Chain A
Amino acid sequence: QTVVTQEPPFSVSPGGTVTLTCGLRSGSVSTNNHPSWYRQTPGQAPRTLIYNTDIRSSGVPDRFSGSILGNKAALTITGAQAEDDSDYYCVLYVSSYNWVFGGGTRLTVL
């Protein structure tokens, strides 16, 4: 069973920079896993932020960026704003026709 890992709850100060990561319990994440990132606020459906590692979805502010850092996918928020206080999920394409989500990271902006 493939397990995708994300950080436990995290906090960042307004205007600060934070990097969230997305890894595999066994193995390394590469661009072949087509990592994508989603933000979700309570009671709402997720919203796509980043796909195919580093492509911003339409309408997503440029303070959000994606990359591969070492053996993990990464989501960096540069200049965090109050509205970024949310849950963040990554998902990896781990094998043919099979996606696995990470457990999510609760980001607090304060």
Chain B
Amino acid sequence: EVQLVESGGDLIQPGGSLRLSCAGSAFIVSSKHVSWVRQAPGKGLEWLSIIYPAGSTYYADSVKGRFSVSRDDPKNTVFLQLDSLRAEDTAMYYCATTADYRFEFWGQGTLVTVSS
């Protein structure tokens, strides 16, 4: 069964940085498109970024230049680097495999709280 497990969420001060991890099991992460999606408390979902099997990366305009996605194939893990964090980045961050233009399998999320 395909599973994704996010980790790395924390309480962080404004302006700080954080790296989130998305570990895959029962599948090879580098063979799949993997997206990051976030959800602010009580709000809707927001697509953030995607990494393709070949390594190409793409971002929503709202996070371009501050967030970056990468992958460690031996660890079967995708990362999301969050820089210059703001209060409005407070959210649950999910990773999801992406196929046929939909977000197929989701992790349970990791919570990022940006506050002084």
List B50-65 residues whose CB lies under 8 Å from chain A: 50, 58, 60-61
Query: Residue on A with the closest CB to B62?
Result: A1
Binary contact track A23-49/B, C-beta < 8 Å → 1, others 0: 000000000001010101000111110
Whole-angstrom distance between the Cβ of A81 and the nearest chain B Cβ? 22
> Which of A1, A57, A98, A100 meets B58, CB within 8 Å?
A98
Q: How far is the CA of A3 from the CA of B91 in the complex (A)?
A: 20
Alpha-carbon distance A101/B45, docked complex (angstroms)? 6
Please pick, from B47, B100, B106, B107, the residue contacting A99 in the complex, using a CB distance under 8 A. Answer: B47
Q: Which residues of A contact B46 (CB under 8 A)?
A: 101
Whether, in the assembled complex, A91 has its beta carbon less than 8 Å from a beta carbon of chain B, the answer is yes
Q: What are the 3 closest A-B residue pairs judged by CB atoms, nearest first? A: A51-B102, A34-B101, A97-B58
10 inter-chain pairs at a CB distance below 8 angstroms, sorted by A residue, are A38-B45, A38-B103, A45-B94, A45-B107, A46-B106, A48-B102, A48-B104, A55-B100, A97-B58, A101-B37
